[in-house]
Amino acid sequence: MSSPIFKQASKTDKDAWIRLRETLYDGVESTFHEEEIEIILNDKTKATFLVFETGKEDSIGMLELSLRNIVDGCLSSPVGYIEGIYLHEKVRGKGYGRQMIDFAKKWAKSQGCSELGCDAELDDLSAQMFHQKMGFRETYRIVQYKMDI
C-alpha cells in the first residue's frame, strides 16, 4: 500500500467535494453543502483535504478539519477537530483511514494543538468502531439541540 496524496480543497474542487459530502452527510441538501464550503474556504480555522491514491485523478476520500475553542472532554484550546472523514468503500481496509488520522494529527499539531477530537452519530456503530480502532477515547454521549433566535 502506498501513502495517499492529500490536496487542500479549493473552489476548483467544489464539485468533487460536494459529491463526497453528499455521500458522507446523507440527507443534507446540496445548497447547505455549497454554503458550508464557502464558509470553510473563507475561514482560516477550517481546512478540507481531498485524498487521492498515488497516480490516480479521482479522489478516494476527504478530511474536513477545524480548530475549536471548546471540545467536550478536552482541556486545551484550541483543539484540532475532525469535522468529517470519508473514504470510499472500495478502498477501505487498506490502511488509508489510519493515514488520514495521522495526517489530521500532524495538521492539528502544526496549528498549535495538543488534542484532536471528533464525533460520530449515536446510531453509526461502524464510525464509532473506526474512531476507537484509531485510538480515540469516548468522552460523552449527548443529543445536541439548536434554536434560531
The string of pLDDT tens digits covering residues 60-92 is: 999 999 999 999 999 999 999 999 999 999 999
Amino acid code (one letter) for 61: G
Q: What is the pTM of this model?
A: 0.93
Distance of alpha carbon 62 from alpha carbon 59, whole angstroms: 8
Instruction: Report the mean per-residue pLDDT for the chain.
Output: 94
pLDDT at 1: 61
Identify the CATH homologous superfamily for domain 5-133.
Gcn5-related N-acetyltransferase (GNAT) (3.40.630.30)
Asked if 51 and 91 touch (Cβ cutoff 8 Å), the reply is no
pLDDT at 46: 98
Q: In the chain, which residues have pLDDT < 70?
A: 1
